[in-house]
């Protein structure tokens, strides 16, 4: 049995969870999220204990893999509508900067032109200064995906460390060819 899948998800105060056949909807103080799970697993709510339990029908390989995944997705939904998720990016490099204009993130990261990245709905993106970007939202997947897309525009390079990186990310540095002489 899946160790992650068999542990129940606690429902905190102020969070409403509904299950309609395969559609799980979670509503909390920060917003509402919905997820349609695979038919190989089932999601049940225990109202008396305020728990969500995920179970599978059989021991097929697909069912076993979806068991823990579905439980994690439901847990992320509950955590997202209560606390939210945040990713922080920092920009390293001379002349590199980020500015937010309405719903478009403008990046100057060493290319001939500025990069314009539209911010998806459901995310709150702020730039406290020109070298930091904060991405907040209730959907963990959306926050992580947008942060990864912004980072992929100019990954940190290994010689000088310039580029866009996650906060506290360790960039592995290489010695240049001048070291060999």
Q: What percent of the chain has pLDDT over 90?
A: 81
H or E stretch covering 164:
strand 163-166
Say if residues 163 and 157 touch (Cβ distance below 8 Å): yes
Do 3-82 and 85-166 show the same overall fold?
yes
pLDDT, tens only, 116-169: 999 999 999 999 999 999 999 999 999 999 999 999 999 999 999 899 999 998
pLDDT at 135: 97
| Domain coordinates in residue numbering, the chain | 3-82, 85-166
Which residues touch 23 (CB under 8 Å, ≥6 apart)?
A: 34, 35, 36
Write the CATH number of the domain with boundaries 85-166.
Answer: 3.90.930.12
**What mean pLDDT is predicted for residues 102-108?**
94
Q: Architecture of 3-82 per CATH?
A: Alpha-Beta Complex (3.90)
pLDDT at 1: 52
């Amino acid at each position: 049995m899946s160790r992650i899948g068999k542990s129940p998800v606690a429902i905190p105060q102020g969070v409403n969870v509904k299950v309609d056949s395969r559609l799980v909807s979670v509503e909390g103080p920060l917003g509402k999220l919905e997820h349609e799970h695979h038919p190989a697993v089932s999601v049940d709510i225990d109202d008396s204990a305020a728990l969500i339990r995920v179970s599978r029908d059989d021991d097929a390989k697909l069912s076993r893999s979806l068991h823990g995944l579905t439980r994690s997705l439901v847990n992320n939904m509950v955590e997202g509508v209560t606390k939210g998720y945040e990713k922080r990016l920092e920009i390293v490099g001379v002349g590199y900067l980020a500015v937010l204009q309405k719903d478009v993130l403008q990046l100057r990261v060493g290319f001939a032109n500025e990069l314009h990245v539209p911010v998806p709905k459901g995310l709150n993106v702020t730039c406290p200064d020109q070298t930091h970007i904060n991405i907040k939202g209730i959907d963990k997947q959306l926050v992580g995906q947008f942060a990864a897309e912004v980072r992929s525009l100019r990954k940190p390079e290994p010689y000088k460390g310039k580029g866009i990186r996650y906060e506290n990310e360790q960039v592995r540095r290489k010695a240049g060819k001048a070291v060999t002489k």
